[in-house]
Amino acid sequence: MTKAATIRKPAVSHIQRKLIPSYIFLTIMSIMSVFPLYWMFTAATNTSLEVAQGKVWFGNYLAENYKNLIAQQNLWQAMGNSFFYAIVQTLATLLICSLAGYGFELYHDRGKDRLFAILLLAMMVPQVATLIPLFTMISKMKLLNSVLAFIIPGLATPFMIMMFRQNSRNFPMDTMEAARIDGLSEIGIFFRMYIPMMKATYAASAVIIFMNSWNAYMWPRTVMKGNAVQTMPMLIANMSNGYAVDYGMLMLGVLFCSLPTIIVFFVLQKQFAEGITGSVK
């Protein structure tokens, strides 16, 4: 026992020594990744001049920044709008994309596979290229400045459909057969068997859709006009440009804008990891 331990010890140390450069590299990268978040927190507590002069430690101007933010910007209205759009978008997209992914995988035939390949091609089209045609479509549908204008282009995204389709491969066909024998309708199987079993995929997808929707800027900026429909990214953009930017107030605004996505991610972190790897319960 003692001999084995003596033999193994140098081997472990050797491995540890080999890992040192990796740890150094990872530590540096971690600091670089976390620093912007850290700076966001500290900057929100400093005056504009202190932020501009590069102060990276906490100050005592948080209350003043909050007072200015509330007085000068429609913060709570923008937060409310962002939550409303993001939640509606998340629920609607989850339903439509999961139905599509379910259909493509569990009722698949050659025709559907070809259709799916065409659908994937749509992922190659950059968003900017579709901006004007989409604007024209929404304008002809008389939907400009409405919640539908916000959510329609993101309702059925090839990426989400692909994610549900891939993860549906792990959905046991036996369960489906059993449900059919028990007399459950096809749509009943989707709602009563598929959705509960694919919870992890739904959670992962919800995180992605919510984040994309919350952070959306270019599309809402194109089809939504007016202070009443302003979202958080629009509010932040408005604050970040001007002849004299109040950086302390701006960073507090950025903090408010980042918190919901951070919370959603941490709450659903476990399910997110499971969903990305295609787990079925």
Residue number with CB closer to other proteins (3 or 140): 140
Residue number with CB closer to other proteins (126 or 242): 242
Residue number with CB closer to other proteins (107 or 243): 243
Q: From the CB of 185, what's the least distance to other proteins, in Å? A: 44
Q: From the CB of 155, what's the least distance to other proteins, in Å? A: 21
Q: From the CB of 79, what's the least distance to other proteins, in Å? A: 17
- Written in H, E and C, the secondary structure of the chain is CHHHHHHHHHHHHHHHHHHHHHHHHHHHHHHHHHHHHHHHHHHCCCCHHHHHCCCCCCCCCHHHHHHHHHHHCCHHHHHHHHHHHHHHHHHHHHHHHHHHHHHHHHCCCHHHHHHHHHHHHHHHCCHHHHHHHHHHHHHHCCCCCCHHHHHHHHCCCHHHHHHHHHHHCCCCHHHHHHHHHCCCCHHHHHHHHHHHHCHHHHHHHHHHHHHHHHHCCHHHHHHCCCHHHCCHHHHHHHHHCCCCCCHHHHHHHHHHHHHHHHHHHHHCHHHHHHHHCCCCC
Residue number with CB closer to other proteins (55 or 199): 55
Q: From the CB of 76, what's the least distance to other proteins, in Å? A: 16
Residues that bind other proteins (CB under 8 A): 48-49, 52-54, 72-73, 131-132, 135-136, 139-140, 144-145, 221-223, 225-227, 234, 237-238, 240-244
Question: Which burial class, exposed, middle or buried, applies to 6 when counting CB atoms under 10 A from its CB (0-12, 13-18, 19+)?
Answer: exposed
Residue number with CB closer to other proteins (91 or 131): 131
Residue number with CB closer to other proteins (52 or 263): 52
Q: From the CB of 144, what's the least distance to other proteins, in Å? A: 5
Q: From the CB of 145, what's the least distance to other proteins, in Å? A: 7
